[in-house]
């Protein structure tokens, strides 16, 4: 018979086990799923004006562009290029890690202008109607620039740093802050329209669908905030990891199929119902996850979400409805940046080899590699790829098989470390 002390000790041990044990993944078969809800905002066919392409941040461009490629031109960004450029009206706009903004002509790679806007940057700008909107780490600020010449039109200092790529919705520019606040600024004056305090630091870029902004924070809380007035519509917690540690959200979410998809530092991908915040499923994907989500269905694939793992060093394709793994492949290094889906090909980069890899969306078979790329590697205008290397930006034009240049390598039937689910 156990003494009172022994019983108490067992209770403490049991309680400690519950705290230390990693919560199990969730599968809610009754969650709603909308096949007709493939997000593809009405952007120009030649434009990629936002981080993630559209307001939903799906990172999917239905285009016929595919490997192999030849380098048409390259531009030296002079410092680390952590985030991909945006593209509008025949110009690329990017900011290097030291806060220097550049405008580059897509036709020939000529630099239109360079301008120092900060001392440190870790986000993509946003383009809208001749304006360029920039959020900076140091100093913490959001700036409105004239896209034609880079001249500053307005500046708003923030009480903290920001690496939250801005998004433009109507008359508002929306971005998060490490001070734990989501802001909406007037796009023409920079005046604060609303500010909403969230439970933790906001590092991710907000995604927007049907008048609601979706973003996670470093308290492990994912929030839906009304664009109109900044009111919180719903909030949901991550499941967290072992030792009761919250699952911080660095990843930028994607909205598609009536769901919001986001990755967490607790090693899980989450699918929330976008209207209610109900958790539809969570799926463990091997170690910490920082990368943004790709969400799409293509002519050759069912609804799928794609994400790379930092600690697990794999790239995953998951069933968008259920979260079940469709396939995964070894990435040859940590993935911290978001992939892009161009046509039927997914592109991702890794930090160890600093290579960009292209795989078939349907089965993960590797079809091409390029010997540069580390973070967020690829955008497209439907005709060319614009690849962000460690310090260089490349314009890549498609060529016939066997005609790729020395920067790229064709891969026929190559699938390193590939694994099919089931």
Joined tokens for residue 159: 């009480």
Give the model confidence (pLDDT) of 133-181 as tens digits: 999 999 999 999 999 999 999 999 999 999 999 999 999 999 999 999 9
Using CA atoms in the order 196, 274, 27, 305, what is the torsion angle rounded to 10 degrees?
Answer: -100
Q: How far apart are CA 175 and CA 121, in angstroms?
A: 14
Give domain status of residue 16, yes or no.
no
3-class DSSP state of 314: strand
Query: Is there a domain that residue 18 lies in?
Result: no
Q: Is residue 15 part of a domain?
A: no
- Three-state secondary-structure class, residue 176: strand
Closest CA to 173 of 161, 162, 163, 182: 182
Distance CA 362, CA 303 (A): 11
CA-CA-CA-CA torsion sign (406, 412, 414, 415): positive
Domain residues for 291? 26-420
Looking at residue 245, what is its pLDDT? Answer: 58
* 301 found inside a domain: yes
Residue 94 lies in a domain: yes
Per-residue pLDDT band for 185 (boundaries 50, 70, 90) equals very high
Please report the pLDDT score of residue 246 as a whole number.
61
Question: Does residue 38 sit in helix, strand or coil?
Answer: coil
Length of the chain: 422
Neighbouring-strand partners of residue 212: 209, 226
Interval 400-417 mean pLDDT = 57
In a domain, 9, yes or no: no
* pLDDT given at position 324: 98
- Is-contact 398 67, C-beta < 8 A? yes
Over range 333-345, report the average pLDDT: 98
Residue 239 has pLDDT above 70, yes or no: yes
Burial (CB < 10 A; 0-12, 13-18, 19+), residue 40, is middle
* pLDDT score of 18 more than 60: no
CATH of the domain at 150: 2.130.10.10
Total number of domains constituting the chain: 1
- pTM, to two decimals: 0.90
Q: What is the mean pLDDT of residues 309-324?
A: 97
Cα–Cα distance between 86 and 93 in angstroms, integer? Answer: 5
Looking at residue 209, its pLDDT comes to 98
Residue 10, Cβ density class (10 Å: 0-12 exposed, 13-18 middle, ≥19 buried): exposed
Domain for residue 7, yes or no? Answer: no
pLDDT of residue 402: 66
Any domain includes 4? no
Give the Cβ contact number of residue 4 at 10 Å.
Answer: 7
């Amino acid at each position: 018979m156990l003494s009172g002390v022994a019983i108490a000790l067992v209770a403490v041990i049991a309680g400690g086990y519950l705290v230390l044990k990693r919560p199990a993944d969730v599968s809610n078969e009754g969650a709603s799923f909308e096949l007709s809800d493939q997000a593809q905002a009405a952007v120009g066919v030649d434009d990629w004006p936002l981080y993630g392409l559209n307001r939903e941040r799906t990172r999917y461009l239905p285009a016929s562009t595919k490997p192999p490629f030849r380098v048409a031109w390259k531009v030296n960004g002079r410092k680390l290029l952590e985030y991909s450029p945006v593209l509008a009206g025949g110009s690329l706009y990017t900011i290097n890690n030291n806060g220097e903004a550049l405008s580059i002509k897509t036709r020939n790679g000529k630099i239109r202008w360079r301008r120092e806007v900060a001392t440190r940057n870790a986000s993509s700008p946003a383009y809208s109607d001749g304006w360029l909107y920039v959020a900076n780490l140091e100093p913490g600020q959001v700036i409105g620039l004239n896209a034609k010449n880079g001249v500053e039109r307005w500046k708003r200092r923030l009480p903290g740093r920001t690496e939250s790529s801005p998004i433009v919705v109507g008359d508002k520019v929306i971005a998060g802050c490490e001070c734990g606040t989501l802001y909406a600024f007037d796009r023409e004056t920079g005046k604060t329209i609303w500010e909403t305090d969230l439970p933790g630091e906001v590092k991710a870029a907000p995604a927007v669908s049907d008048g609601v902004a979706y973003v996670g924070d470093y308290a492990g809380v994912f929030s839906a905030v009304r664009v109109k007035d900044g009111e919180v519509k719903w909030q949901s917690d991550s499941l967290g990891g072992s030792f009761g540690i919250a699952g911080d959200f660095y990843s930028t979410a994607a909205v598609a199929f009536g769901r919001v998809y986001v990755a967490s530092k607790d090693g899980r991908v989450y699918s929330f119902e976008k209207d209610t915040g109900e958790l539809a499923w969570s799926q463990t994907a091997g170690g910490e996850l920082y990368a943004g989500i790709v969400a799409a269905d293509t002519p050759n694939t069912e609804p799928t979400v794609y994400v790379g793992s930092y600690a697990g060093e794999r790239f995953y394709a998951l069933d968008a409805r259920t979260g079940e793994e469709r396939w995964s492949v070894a990435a040859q290094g940590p993935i911290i940046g978001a992939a892009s889906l161009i046509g039927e090909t997914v592109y991702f980069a890794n930090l160890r080899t600093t290579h960009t890899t292209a795989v078939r969306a349907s089965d993960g078979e590797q079809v091409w590699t390029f010997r540069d790329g580390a973070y967020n590697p690829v955008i497209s205008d439907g005709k060319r790829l614009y690849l962000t290397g460690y310090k260089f930006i490349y314009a890549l034009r498609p060529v016939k098989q066997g005609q790729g240049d020395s920067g790229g390598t064709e891969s026929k039937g190559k699938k390193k470390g590939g694994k099919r689910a089931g």
